[in-house]
Structure 1
Amino acid sequence: MDRRTTLKWVLAASASMPLLQYDDDVLAAPSTKATSAVAKPYGTDPNLVRVYKPGDLWPLTFTSEQRATAAVLCDLIIPADARSPSASSVGVVDFIDEWVSAPYETQRADRIVVLEGLQWLDQEAGRRFSTTFRQLAAGQQRQLCDDICYLPKVKPQFKQAAVFFARYRDLTAGGFYTTPQGRKDLEYIGNVPMASFNGPPAEVLKKVGLL
């Protein structure tokens, strides 16, 4: 997936997905491992005609290991089925990497949550199964995610991980459903040229007082 497409996803998602309201006790004293130097923003009028290469605007964040873990989690959230491909196969990991690398307040907060969440997955997988999250069997991965997938009822020891999972699920869905494949899965029919347009039905115009 090219950088231009990813940037358009970032702009679309930033307008449609508000920042999850994190609890103060969850984000207090964030780890320095999940922070980095602040890159220069592109401002309010980015040039979307230009084709950008990775690193042109800001350095990307994920290591190869983090990308692999991110892909596994994306596909647990939106796996391939008869209707559509998996989230990772349409570039959602690229979108999330771009998102958490952007030098804006929302993205910087998400960067901490996502990086620490990916780290937690590996630590918890190691504690339970003596391996990394991405190397677990699918059933073991789902077992671990079941403990953190519903924030209102999560056990206290999993609260921070559940905050991560909720935000990561939002980012995965936001990235996937703004791709052509995701829009097709939703059966979204907007932005499609029509040979002719006769306007809204008469009953609709009557209801709004225009007929």
Structure 2
Amino acid sequence: MDRRTTLQWMLAASAAMGVEVSAGATPAKRSGGKAKGYGTDPKLTPTYRSGELWPLTFTPQQSRTAQALCGLIIPADEHSPSAAQLKVHLFIDEWISAPYPDQSKDKEVIVAGLAWLESESRSRFGKTFAELDVGAQSQIADDICWIQKARPEHAAAARFFKRFRDLTAGGFYTTPEGSKDLGFVGNIPSVTFDGPPLKVLQIVGVA
């Protein structure tokens, strides 16, 4: 399964969950009106281009910042490319742009967090986050990578980093390269089955 197909499956699953929730919305039932859904589920047979299902969110600058952060969170190693090389930031853009409640909440967190990251980068180093080397990027990330240890003034940024890290991992490990990195082999039998033992077949009278 290629990355485009994987994205289609994830988007369709999100859409299906959103339709179920909205179709049973209590406020619409109380008012006597018909619950307003999000429309029909996306068709899985066509190939969708990025931004075709809904407008995307990231500006070019936000996209560069998000890509750099993806690469910092999951760098390349001897097993797989980095999350930046696999363009996981494009998956995150698709995710937060989807018109559903959970994604809308993520959108607020991610957009605000990327703005903070850029502001902090320019304040500390006079450069955009994407222009920094890994060492400088890590200095910023180290301050927000653990909510429990983040200073009070970094609390919101730490919540952003946690959600962004989760989305990065989710996007990365649904790519063929990420699945391979996990050692996932799919629906392949791990043992050879030669049938029931002879004694069992004799007991049931078929041998």
What TM-score comes out, normalization by structure 2 length? 0.76
| Deviation for aligned residue 1:11 | 4.7
Cα distance in 1, alignment partners of residues 99 and 139 from structure 2:
34
Structure 1 residues 14, 157: closer, same or farther in 2, change over 3 A?
farther
Structure 1 residue 125 corresponds to structure 2 residue 126: no
Conserved 8 A contact 2:15-2:100: no
- Structure 2 distance, partners of 1:176, 1:13, is 18
Q: With structure 1 as the length reference, what TM-score do the two structures score?
A: 0.74
Q: Which amino acid aligns with 2:115?
A: Q
CA contact (8 A) 1:61 1:100 kept: yes
Q: How many residues align?
A: 176
Where in structure 2 are the equivalents of 1:36-115 lying within 5 Å? 41=38, 43=40, 45-115=41-111
For the Cα contact (< 8 Å) 2:15–2:42, is it kept in 1? Answer: no
Residues 139, 57 of structure 1: alpha-carbon distance in 2 compared, 3 angstrom cutoff: same
Deviation of the 1:183 alpha carbon: 0.9
Partner of 1:145: 141
**TM-superposed deviation, 1:196:** 8.7
**Which segment drifts farther, 84-93 or 151-160?**
84-93
RMSD of aligned alpha carbons: 2.9
Which SS does the other structure have where 1:89 is aligned?
coil
- Letter of the 2:193 partner, please give it: N
Residue type of the partner of 1:102?
Answer: A
Measured against aligned partners, the alpha-carbon deviations of 1:12-36 in whole angstroms (never above 9, x if no partner) come to: 6899xxxxxxxxxxxxxxxxxxxxx
**What letter is aligned with 1:116?**
A
* Mapped contact 1:84–1:182 kept (Cα < 8 A): yes
| More RCO (CA 8 Å, sep 6+) | 1
Please tell me the residue identity of whatever aligns with 1:146: D
Max Rg structure: 2
Once the two structures are aligned, what percentage of the paired residues are identical?
49
Unaligned ranges ≥5, structure 1: 16-39, 203-211
Asked if the contact 2:81–2:177 (Cα under 8 Å) also holds between the matched residues in 1, the reply is: yes
Q: Distance in 1 between matches of 2:142 and 2:196?
A: 46
Instruction: Describe the superposition over 1:94-130 as per-residue Cα deviations: whole angstroms up to 9, x where unpaired.
Output: 1101001000000000000001100000101111112
